[in-house]
Structure 1
């Protein structure tokens, strides 16, 4: 079928009209709240009529674009009685589900690569390039920083004491693509309980999402540095929280100097696994064990009679015991090889061992255990 033109409009504007093919894009994903129309549960409401319009305007074929994992499986997704959930179920039963990665692996390739480059170039004005070429404000930092990230070859390290969903989602897709290219990404941020007000609500979501795409997230107590280091050749340092900034006036300085970069690495103890940083990192160990009641990833806690798994959802709090020598896969990555660490309750206490054993023999101490040194 030859397509002569494409008409883009809201559902409201399509009322009373028809077209050969309809593409219905829901757009909802992590970081975006479910629109009232898509979350509607009342079949007699005006919203139900609009959804009916959306799926009945096509003469021959309709395509529904949706993030199924977010809409159907996440706790922030659709209500169990939402009309869109029923529509998706019918599409799955009567149509064909196609993974978007089979069509386009990333928005940062093909034509989008061209357009994102043009977008970045459009920012390059006298405002973007300050007189001294190194000092940037919140108005011109991100375009130049994104270009540095896209040119990374080996490693990206970001210190952002606070993280927000709104800002972090702008990085997630690019991080995923860079990781697929073999680039290691480390994110240092404060523990969830140290994230302020609304950031505390966002932090758990951001940390979980970052770990899912392969970012190594290290929770460090009382950190305040706002730094980024790319390939140990370029550093950004200043007052702007890279993964949470919203509307405050801040400054960041670009330092393409090896000596300055090495000094920041030394001061931030990036290359050292001190006892303090290890305990900060494993203070609350999240596992890949899902709560049988609500589906949340369970965390490990140490009780009077030994370790146990507990659901972090305050409305659930489901728990189960851990037996001696059980191997519980965690979200913590091995500092040597990058494999997930496994929690084990052994005869001498609790510890984290690399899942790559016996090729990798790294062990990390766990709070309350008798192992007090890193073994490699």
Structure 2
């Protein structure tokens, strides 16, 4: 009995050592024949030193006469699973076990502080470090999020923090980065418990479990996802360490739910059954020079957000543009009278209204299509792209980014909406942020790959000032 779909052993012995041990124990003839392995699954190396995934489990499997009905490999299959919540272990079923695992753990009587499956988008950079990979922005975001939620988690579970949460990452360099980030916050805030949190690679945490597992993906679209997709067993072990909540924090642009790779299967589970967790920082940050202090305002209530979008559509003039990036759409959010009438009026004034949303929807796809057709009928230019998680509202002289889905929140249910927040930047320094967003979206194919002119996002005052400067120069 056992599970060969956990991580394979880390092999450090070569074929020559394997053969020597076989000679000394008198079993050479059973496993080797003229320098070739009789069964390469049960030895650690071939005659030429090439490594193979041999293990004790492989030896036993090659000898047993017993096999579970319908099993893919010899031996008894342990089908009953009691550690993880159903939505978590379903990922392992989809990855490897072909639905044969039976989730027998009942749902908690009192809902835990986090969903069974959660995710948060952090637009960091994957960098190579000493033969490994790390993402410092992602590490800081994870550490800060844990620190800000530690008291609430401890209050719910009535346990020490290190018994509640662990951080798993595929890369040893990221393990060190997260541990350092936690240590730095512990020193600043006096939260000594942060230093005790287990942070490790998937291999190091095989056999462990925690109510909350945070998975740091590290990769970004430029670095690729080869290592994350290289082993279904690696993903299987990472997911199945979580008892109550499995939370992925990283660049969601690498998550493509339509492909059948390990990462694609994880992405589909997150976007179909999971929820975006709140409070994780790490998206666009404004570089500030001492002489260029930006004007920044924080908005948090649904009414503040809807009023800001209404204002953006009302104030834009002929030749200007309003950009709304909302991954999810709903009829009550996108096609309510307040939005429809303002888009129509803006377009009639000569304003270009651009709406960018997710091509693949985790929920009602028919409703998504109705929303797109309705927005286009208002005169909006709609663009659907894969793997979009940013929530942005940009209009002349202003940009707001945060966690608020601009065109999916029901206006009449504002009091029941999730707690979302956004930062609005305006004035001269908003220009840099808008340019960055336009370039990122154009790179993903919006506007045919060519970003619109930043002039379309200059406020009327800025346009007038630029015109006066030009006239003065003449």
TM-score above 0.5 = no
TM-score normalised by L of structure 2? 0.29
Which structure has the larger Rg?
2
TM (norm. structure 1) is 0.36
**Structure ranking higher on relative contact order (CA contacts 8 Å, 6+ apart):** 2
